[in-house]
Structure 1
Amino acid sequence: MASPVTKEISYEELKALVGKSQNLLLVDVRSKEEVDKGRIPGSVHIPIDSVEAALAMEPEEFKAKYGVTKPLLDASELVFHCQVGKRGGIATDKACKVGYVNARNYQGAYREWSQREGK
């Protein structure tokens, strides 16, 4: 079976969703040390090693741990990102494998976001 093709979202597309969409779940899969240096507003930190376990949680457990509602499998705005793009792609593939049909990776990652936002 071929591995799923990771779906991408651009800076412009993500920028349009951040702060405007009630449905966006932006998952930051970087390490705590990376997140402590800066983050995309509204993102939820779920380290790459925890993504599969997090997506397998019951909704109540997910909300208790991460403070947000667990996305439905057909959630239209589930986006993963890391520092440079690779881990976000891995997390997106993991989400697709467990049934998240619209999961996307922000390929530009935090590096592009911080450059564009001047932070």
Structure 2
Amino acid sequence: MAVTKEISYEDLKGLLGKSQNLLLVDVRTKEEVDKGRIPGSVHIPVDTVEAAFAMEPEEFKAKYGVTKPALDAPELVFQCQMGKRGGIATAKAHEIGYINARNYTGGYREWSEKEGK
């Protein structure tokens, strides 16, 4: 059975509330992230995703401050502003072997609207 490659605002909100295993990767530019971000997200710009997830775990942790997820990590989510770059990053992650990687298609735009930011 194919795992859905997208995640909704409600599902992401639920994971952020309860999951210790969620890795939420913000693939936007630094300028965008500086204006606001989803709490708990890790900033890895879209053009560096492939290199980042190819790193050794120690290097990944040193650079991003979080543990590099296993290839079968159940809760790896990418997000950008509106969904397009998140989709690109998710596809790259799938190519590398992250079978459960998902894209939060609403992106930060939907998040900030729903959160009233």
TM-score category (smaller protein): over 0.9
Q: Once superposed, what is the RMSD of the aligned Cα atoms?
A: 1.4
**In 2: Cα distance, 1:42 partner to 1:17 partner:** 11
SS in 2 for 1:19: helix
Question: Matched residues in 2 for 1:19 and 1:6: separation?
Answer: 21
Question: What displacement does 1:16 show?
Answer: 0.1
Find 1:50's aligned residue among 36, 48, 51. Answer: 48
Runs of 4+ in 1 over 4 A off after TM superposition: none
**Hey, what does 1:11 align to over in structure 2?**
9
* Alignment counterpart, residue 31 of structure 1, candidates 29, 35, 46: 29
How much does 1:108 deviate?
A: 0.3
Partner SS for 2:18 = coil
Structure 1: any 5+ residue segments left out of the alignment?
A: none
Distance 1:37 1:6 in 2: 30
Q: Percent identity?
A: 83
Write out aligned runs for 1:28-107 (5 A).
28-107=26-105
For residue 18 of structure 1, give the secondary structure of its aligned residue in structure 2: helix
Deviation at 1:20, TM superposition (A): 1.7
Q: CA deviation at 1:19?
A: 3.4
Matches of 1:39 and 1:81, distance apart in 2: 10
- Secondary structure of 1:22's partner? coil
Seen in structure 2, the aligned counterparts of structure 1 residues 80 and 111 have a Cα distance that, compared at 3 Å, is: same
The 1-side partners of 2:115 and 2:30 are apart by 21
Could you list the per-position Cα deviations for residues 63-110 of structure 1 after superposition, in whole angstroms to 9, with x for gaps in the alignment?
000000000000000000000000000000000000000000000000
Q: Amino acid of the residue matched to residue 30 of structure 2?
A: K
Residues of 1 paired with 2:97 and 2:71: CA distance? 6
Q: Which amino acid aligns with 1:80?
A: F
Normalising by structure 2, what TM-score? 0.96
